[in-house]
Amino acid sequence: MVTLLYFAGLRESLGRSREQVSLPAHGTPTVSLLVESLRSRDAQSAEALAPGKRWRVAVNQQMADLATPVKAGDEIAFFPPVTGG
């Protein structure tokens, strides 16, 4: 299992701030593979994490990208581009 966190507009459009999911059983687990499995799981995730949408990902609180490996126990956060300062 991994913990998924959602922030800001992504949290609002999905209607939840966290969830636990299993990693896909096939292939080497990466952010890309996880995102694909979330997209195929439900229409809301498919919309919120659509390929053309601007979203960012962090793995264990470090900025990451589609190629970043993920493993059981990881904290994976999805959010829009940041707007602090």
Partner 1 sequence: MARARVQQADFDVGAELEALTRGRSDVGAVASFVGLVRDANDGSSVRGLTLEHYPGMTEKALEDICTQADARWDLQGLVVIHRVGSLVPGDRIVLVGVASAHRGHAFEACEFIMDYLKTRAPFWKREDTSEGTRWVEARASDDAAAQRWK
Q: How many CA atoms lie within 13 A of 13 on its CB side?
A: 17
CA neighbor of 54 nearest in space, from 6, 10, 4: 10
Cα 28 to chain centroid, rounded: 16
If the CB atoms of residues 24 and 79 are measured against partner 1, the closer one turns out to be: 79
Binding site for partner 1 (CB under 8 A): 5, 7-9, 54, 58, 61-63, 77, 79-85
Smallest distance from the beta carbon of 4 to partner 1, in angstroms? 13
If the CB atoms of residues 33 and 58 are measured against partner 1, the closer one turns out to be: 58
If the CB atoms of residues 51 and 85 are measured against partner 1, the closer one turns out to be: 85
Are the beta carbons of 19 and 4 closer than 8 angstroms?
yes
